[in-house]
Structure 1
Amino acid sequence: MTRKEGVIKKRCGCRDPETGKQLGDRCPKLRLLLKNRKGEPKVGKDGEPLWQWNPDHGTWWARYSAPPGPDGRRRQPWLGPCDTEDEATKALRKALVQLDEGASVPDQKLTFGAYLDQWIKGKKSLKPSTLESYVETIELYGKPGLGHLKLVEVNETHLDHLYTAIGQINNLPEGECPSEMLRRLLAARSLAPKIHLKEGERVGLKRQKPLSASRIHRIHRVLSSALGTAVKTKKINRNPAEHVELPRVPRRRPLVWTSERVARWKKTGKIPGKVMVWTPEQCGHFLDIAEERGERLYSLYHLTATRGLRRGEVCGVRWEDSDLDEAGTLSLLESEEEDDDGLKSDASQRAVTLDDTNIRLLKTWRATQRRERMAAGADWTDTGLIYTAENGSALREEYVSERFAAIVKAAELPPIRFHDLRHCAASMMLVAGVDMKVVSATLGHARYSFTADTYTSVVPQVARAAAEATTAIIPRKKAQ
């Protein structure tokens, strides 16, 4: 059936038994001959047999003429598959309208894998560690799982099957055969190059533990970002990743290193939880030891422990974004690190107000950095960053964490991660009576409710004060 500037046809995936090529609209099963009451084929006035489309075979497609591509070759994209002729007609009309309005024509031959390669090449602003994680997601999951599909064909079901297969890595139920999708993912992991963990240590990807729900969320965010860009550049009409249901990520609430937990840790070596928080006394001991040792990055650790900056933020903040003499603030313009709730939003871009101690420490550090610059001479790298290596280059974030761990060990304190200094800052702000909304804004959380839900139960002093206040407000005849 012909439409203005387009054609509506039925097609199928049947193949020629001799050549193996798809028959497309030439499959004999697509058409049914019309017969009269005697069972004889009906013929038209021209003597040709009359036929109708077979409702039980094939799907509807639309095709139209598009402007030539970059190579100058003629283009006739297909739209489909559609369940009905009316749906194909509407798709054709929409495409022709977009074409008249100057919209680009989706490349029906572009595979998802080829598109991901194009997309990652354009991510020039990512820092190396983030780019490395994006490439790993593409090479280990996106391309082996769905890379063979046409970009325009990728849908919610494909993504759902991909995430299900990712969840079965090192986690396949006993007696269940791996799906074709899982086989492709496992093959990609077996061929992947070894990854860097620590200086001088390299290990492969053959880990025995299943991938966590939070890891699947991170993979999803990368693929969703790529598909979102495809929508913006009009390669596809919608982002199928927006409607995929993901596994629930369990909330890891911080636990305080109480005296009982410390005693048990010293006895067994076991850490009660993944996210641990020091008491104000423990945090103070850490800062005292760092200062006594003459730790070069002492002011960085003090700033993090009191103002709750993320590692990427404190390593990436620039002198030009500081105002130490008037407003007493640091402007944090961007961060590529995710928070514990797996979210990062515009709230991450914020101005952090500094206290007198942090201002004094930052001014002292600036003087130290100037002396290092003079000593380095022509070898100095002018990055403009507040915290740098001795030659002015950017600090390696892993080094900041490694130095932190060394100080913790020297102080004989119960272990926490460097990121947990951020949680220490939040809990101490609450102990000091800072309003929860101010705490949330200082940390740059996307949601106030997340701050309240995470930290309300962390600080015993706050909970005890609330309990005492509740009992005290009730009038009684006899003093209890």
Structure 2
Amino acid sequence: MTAATSNGTVFPRCACRSAETGRQLGARCPQRGQPGHGRWYYDAHVPGPDGRQKRLRRGKFLTRAAAEQGLAQILELDGPDAMAETWTMKRWLEYWLSLSEDRLRPSTLRAYRSVTRTHLIPWLGRFRVADLDGRRGVKTVQRAVDAISRQEVADGKLIAPGTVHRVVAVLRSALSEARRQGLVSMNAAWRLRLPRSARPPAVA
């Protein structure tokens, strides 16, 4: 019941469990692949900018045909589009920081790493790069910035507005590089609602 290509595979999955062990039956389910039972998924391998293949799994398609269509569409994407659809923001931020090692002063790079680890990855790391594109991306980033702005630090005080501005400045720089590489069409970190600060920090 599995269909495969040189770069991908579609397969059915269901939530049926063994009456004896309670474990999912998976490939042992007697109804596996029957019309209307379970959902279809695909596994694809697409290239990243580092030349390595990235595994991508998507699912919950109602039919095998829909899963095969989804697989075909992802395999037709060029390098940047495929990367945007498969890389999480956590992976992109870490990759962007590695690109910045020769461009920034060590102290600046340490500050960027701290902001990324403390704020950006916890709030945005799970999203795909493509999720931060367009209007949807702006809304996603705005929700994350709003959540960061409500965080409490020592003695129950809210995080300083200047810190929030620095977080956004780092994200803006990371997304600018993503735009230069063709991963997104716009920078979702521009024109956000930010807490008032005396002066927005400059970005190298």
TM-score normalised by L of structure 2: 0.56
Question: How large is the RMSD of aligned CA atoms in angstroms?
Answer: 5.2
| 2:112 corresponds to which of 114, 118, 134 | 134
TM-superposition CA deviations, 1:106-165 (whole Å, max 9, x none)? 499866445433321321323455434322211211234444x37568655764553343
The alpha-carbon deviation at position 225 of structure 1 amounts to 3.2
Alignment correspondent of 1:242: 188
- 5+ residue gaps, structure 2, are none
The answer on whether the counterparts of 2:16 and 2:26 sit within 8 Å (CA) in structure 1 is no
Q: Percent identity?
A: 18
Alignment correspondent of 1:8: 10
Alignment correspondent of 1:415: none
Q: 1:152 to 1:83 in 2, by over 3 A?
A: farther
The answer on whether the counterparts of 2:179 and 2:187 sit within 8 Å (CA) in structure 1 is no
2:118 equivalent to 1:143: no
Aligned pairs for 1:457-476 within 5 A: none
Partner SS, residue 43 of structure 2 = strand
| 1:95 corresponds to which of 71, 74, 77 | 74
Whole-angstrom distance in 2 between the partners of 1:233 and 1:24: 43
Aligned pairs for 1:13-412 within 5 A: 26=27, 28=29, 51-54=34-37, 58=39, 60-64=40-44, 77-81=55-59, 88-98=67-77, 103=79, 106=83, 112-123=89-100, 124-128=102-106, 130-147=108-125, 149=126, 151=128, 156=137, 159=141, 162-170=144-152, 206=154, 208-212=156-160, 215-230=163-178, 232-233=180-181, 237-238=183-184, 242=188, 246-250=192-196, 340=199, 342=200
Whole-angstrom distance in 2 between the partners of 1:153 and 1:87: 21
Alignment correspondent of 1:323: none
Whole-angstrom distance in 2 between the partners of 1:82 and 1:95: 16
Partner SS, residue 170 of structure 2 = helix
Whole-angstrom distance in 2 between the partners of 1:24 and 1:248: 50
TM-score normalised by L of structure 1: 0.29
The alpha-carbon deviation at position 244 of structure 1 amounts to 9.2
The answer on whether the counterparts of 1:167 and 1:210 sit within 8 Å (CA) in structure 2 is yes
User: Which amino acid in structure 2 is aligned with residue 168 of structure 1?
Assistant: R
The answer on whether the counterparts of 1:213 and 1:247 sit within 8 Å (CA) in structure 2 is no
